[in-house]
């Protein structure tokens, strides 16, 4: 960035400014529909107070101004959105040192080179970006200064932000302690001054990361004698304006650690929603929010016990059902089970119970439109995958198996029935299982 560019960028001079008048220097009309490559149109249209954002025409252009309040995408921060006149700003990019605004809608027709236009920013989006970005600087500063953990990359998203840091094991991060230190800096409400070098000397600052090598003017964002970082993004003026920061998740990422966090008014919204969900869950479990984790653990333990008990009863039931079926059919018969309201797991339990007593069996789960087949090992039956796979394909099924087990699922119950009957015919008489 050079000195002239700095003067044109009102978003640096006054980050809280949301309206401004500027002159159109250049305009390039573009072909294509309003939906083509318009990453921000939906966001702004949803947040528009007036109806002009809900009826986008196919008019589209790129506009360069003599000064702008719109921040262009860069440094991990998305672009500002809003309006130029009545034209909707859906993207802002810096190209070869110039800032270009992509605009849409009928208002494009009113824009003229040389005329002054009124700029109006999506203020809620700008505030979100400044709170998240300064929150990231503060979080990265605490990690760097107090734990010698370096920030490797940053991404500012619409629902949460991420930083990749040099910690190899996420479990080693003292998240509660880190958050407490960040919150202490927010509570102090210290200044977040911005320096420009030159005229200031960049060597006089203890920078957290290297400055860009190809910039005539380097912008350094400071947190009151604690952190200095070269940065081109927009920031709040004092740490108290961050309001809050919450680390919501950590995970391994390419040998390092990725932290997910939220800051600002959005963090308070996320925390309020999480508390309400916890409160509702606590009511369902007849406990208080403060005891929710213990109650959930207790419920999981009980559910596991009930599930284990159910499986024992289900297995005993399957063995009884198979024994009754075997007793009413001769030894050469293939047992068949038609389950009108039970799932494929129950079907598998039946055929495996049959296999343990040396009987071949087929079972159809009507709800799952799934047929399972099993033959006893050493019973002389052909390999199921070989004989049943073509039949499955004939009836439009999907699945597979091996020599003694096969599973196939179908689009309709009728196809599943036809497959089961065909499979029975193929296996019937192939061999008489040993008793």
Residue with the larger pLDDT of the pair 323 and 6:
323
Cα–Cα distance for residue pair 151/141, rounded to 1 Å = 9
- Bridge partners (DSSP) listed for residue 409: 370, 398
**The pLDDT of residue 433 is above 80:** no
pLDDT at 40: 53
pLDDT at 116: 97
Q: What is the dihedral of CA 408, 411, 415, 420, to 10 degrees?
A: 20
Cα–Cα distance for residue pair 2/213, rounded to 1 Å = 13
Which residue shows structure tokens 């959005």?
266
Q: Count Cβ neighbours within 10 Å for each residue of 208-239 and write b for 16 or more, e otherwise.
A: beebeeeeebbbbbbbeebbbbbbbbbbbebb
Tokens representing 151 are: 């920030």
**The pLDDT of residue 241 is above 90:** yes
**The pLDDT of residue 432 is above 60:** no
Q: Which CATH class is domain 318-427?
A: alpha beta
**The pLDDT of residue 408 is above 60:** yes
- Bridge partners (DSSP) listed for residue 385: none
Confidence of residue 3 (pLDDT cuts 50, 70, 90): low
Edge-to-edge strand list for the sheet holding 398-401: 335-339, 361-365, 370-374, 405-409, 398-401
Q: According to the per-residue pLDDT averaged within each range, which of 8-12, 245-249, 252-256 is highest?
A: 245-249
Mean pLDDT calculated for residue range 72-100: 94
The length of the chain in residues reads: 435
Lowest mean pLDDT among 20-34, 264-278, 313-327, 360-374: 20-34
Instruction: List CB contacts of 139: < 8 A, sequence separation 6 or more.
Output: 163, 178, 182, 245, 247, 259, 261
Cα–Cα distance for residue pair 79/64, rounded to 1 Å = 15
**The pLDDT of residue 43 is above 60:** no
Helix (H) or strand (E) holding 146: helix 123-147
The CATH topology of domain 3-121 is: Elongation Factor Tu (Ef-tu); domain 3 (2.40.30)
Cα–Cα distance for residue pair 328/34, rounded to 1 Å = 71
pTM: 0.74
Could you tell me whether strands 60-65 and 98-104 are parallel, antiparallel, or unpaired per DSSP bridges? antiparallel
pLDDT at 421: 95
Edge-to-edge strand list for the sheet holding 161-165: 151-156, 161-165, 256-263, 245-253
Q: Mean pLDDT over all residues of the chain?
A: 91
Neighbour-count burial of 289, counting CB atoms closer than 10 A to its CB (0-12 exposed, 13-18 middle, 19+ buried) = middle
Mean pLDDT calculated for residue range 95-101: 94
**The pLDDT of residue 214 is above 90:** no
**The pLDDT of residue 8 is above 80:** yes
Tokens representing 73 are: 């995408």
Tell me if 167 sits within 8 A of 139, measured CB to CB.
no
Domain edges within the chain? 3-121, 127-276, 318-427
Tokens representing 399 are: 């699945």
**The pLDDT of residue 125 is above 60:** yes
Mean pLDDT calculated for residue range 412-425: 95
> Tens of pLDDT along 131-144?
999 999 999 999 99
Cα–Cα distance for residue pair 337/330, rounded to 1 Å = 16
Mean pLDDT calculated for residue range 320-339: 93
**Out of 3.30.980.10, 3.40.50.2300, 3.40.250.10, 3.40.50.1970, which CATH number does the structure's domain 127-276 have?**
3.30.980.10
Write the DSSP symbol of residue 172. Answer: G
Q: Which regions of 307-375 does DSSP assign to beta strands (E)?
A: 335-339, 361-365, 370-374
């Amino acid at each position: 960035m050079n000195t002239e560019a700095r003067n044109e960028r009102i978003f640096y001079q006054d980050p809280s400014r949301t309206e401004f008048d500027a002159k159109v220097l250049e305009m390039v009309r573009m072909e294509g529909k309003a939906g083509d490559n318009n990453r921000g149109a939906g966001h702004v249209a949803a947040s528009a107070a007036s109806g002009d954002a809900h009826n986008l025409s196919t008019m589209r252009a790129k506009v360069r101004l003599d000064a702008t309040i719109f921040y262009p995408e860069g440094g991990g921060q998305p672009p500002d959105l809003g309006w130029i006149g009545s034209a909707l700003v859906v993207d802002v990019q810096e190209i070869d040192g110039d800032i270009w605004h992509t605009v849409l809608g009928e208002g494009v027709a009113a824009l003229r080179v040389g005329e002054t236009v009124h700029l109006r920013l999506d203020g809620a989006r700008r505030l979100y970006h400044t709170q998240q970005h300064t929150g990231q600087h503060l979080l990265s500063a605490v990690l760097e200064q107090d734990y010698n953990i370096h920030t490797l990359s940053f991404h500012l998203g619409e629902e949460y932000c991420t930083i990749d840091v040099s910690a190899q094991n996420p479990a080693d991060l003292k998240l509660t302690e880190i958050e407490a230190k960040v919150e202490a800096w927010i509570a102090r409400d210290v200044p977040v001054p911005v320096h420009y070098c030159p005229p200031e000397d960049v060597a006089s600052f203890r920078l957290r990361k290297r400055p860009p090598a190809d910039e005539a003017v380097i912008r350094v964002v400071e947190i009151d004698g604690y952190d200095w970082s070269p940065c081109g993004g927009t920031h709040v003026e004092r740490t108290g304006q961050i309001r809050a920061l919450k680390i919501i998740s950590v995970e391994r990422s390419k040998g390092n650690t990725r932290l997910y966090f939220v800051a600002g008014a959005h963090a308070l919204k996320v925390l309020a929603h999480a508390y309400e969900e916890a409160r509702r869950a606590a009511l369902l479990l007849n406990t208080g929010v403060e005891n929710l984790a213990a109650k959930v653990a207790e419920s999981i333990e009980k559910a596991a016990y009930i599930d284990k008990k159910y499986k024992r009863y289900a297995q005993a039931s399957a063995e009884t059902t198979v024994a009754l079926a075997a007793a009413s059919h001769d030894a050469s018969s293939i047992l068949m089970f038609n389950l009108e309201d039970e799932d494929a797991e129950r079907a598998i339990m039946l055929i495996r119970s049959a296999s343990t007593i040396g009987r071949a069996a087929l079972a159809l789960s009507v709800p799952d439109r799934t047929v399972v087949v099993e033959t006893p090992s050493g019973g002389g039956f052909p390999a199921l995958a070989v004989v049943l796979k073509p039949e499955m394909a004939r009836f439009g099924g999907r699945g597979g198996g091996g020599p003694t087990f096969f599973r196939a699922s179908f689009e309709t119950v009728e196809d599943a029935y036809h497959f089961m009957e065909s499979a029975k015919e193929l296996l019937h008489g192939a061999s008489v299982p040993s008793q």
